[in-house]
Amino acid sequence: MDIVEANGARIPTPGMGTWTLNGRLCAELVAHALALGYRHVDTAAAYDNEEAVGAG
As a whole number of angstroms, the distance between CA 41 and CA 43 comes to: 6
Catalytic-residue membership of 47 = yes
52, 27 contact by CB (below 8 A): yes
As a whole number of angstroms, the distance between CA 50 and CA 48 comes to: 6
State the catalytic residue, choosing from 1, 47, 51, 53.
Answer: 47
Q: Active-site residue numbers?
A: 47
